Amino acid sequence: MLTAIISEGSRVEGSLSFAGNARIGGNVTGNIYSSGEIVISESAIVSADLNADVVIISGDVKGNVVATSRVEILRPAQFEGTISSPSLSVEEGVIFHGKTAM
């Protein structure tokens, strides 16, 4: 179940915290925390550290990601930063500049 949506065209600056799943489609600068899943849509431009159980990225993300279960990076994503997760999947065609810790 989706708890929050930041739609395309929205701009948010600061720290965001969600008790469940969140979908980000707009521009976010700051930190994002979720006890569930964070989905970064293709339209999203995110300059933030992400911390969640599951992180799925299809948009543009610059920051550090900590996931307790898994991270999926799907085409046409662009990622720059560090990922810490027990499981990482990067789809062919993704632009990835960074480091991983598993």
Domain count, the chain: 1
| 101 belongs to a structural domain | no
CA angle at 67 for the pair 18 and 27, rounded to the nearest 5°: 55
> Residues 23-33: pLDDT tens digits?
999 999 999 99
What is residue 53's predicted lDDT score, i.e. its pLDDT? 98
Its domain, for residue 8, covers 2-96
Give pLDDT, residue 102: 84
Residue 43 forms part of a structural domain: yes
By C-alpha distance, which of 47, 50, 42, 90 is closest to 67?
50
| Higher-scoring residue by pLDDT: 21, 1 | 21
Could you tell me if residue 77 is inside a domain? yes
Answer whether residue 99 shows pLDDT above 80. Answer: yes
Does 102 fall in a domain?
Answer: no
24-75 residue pLDDT tens:
999 999 999 999 999 999 999 999 999 999 999 999 999 999 999 999 999 9
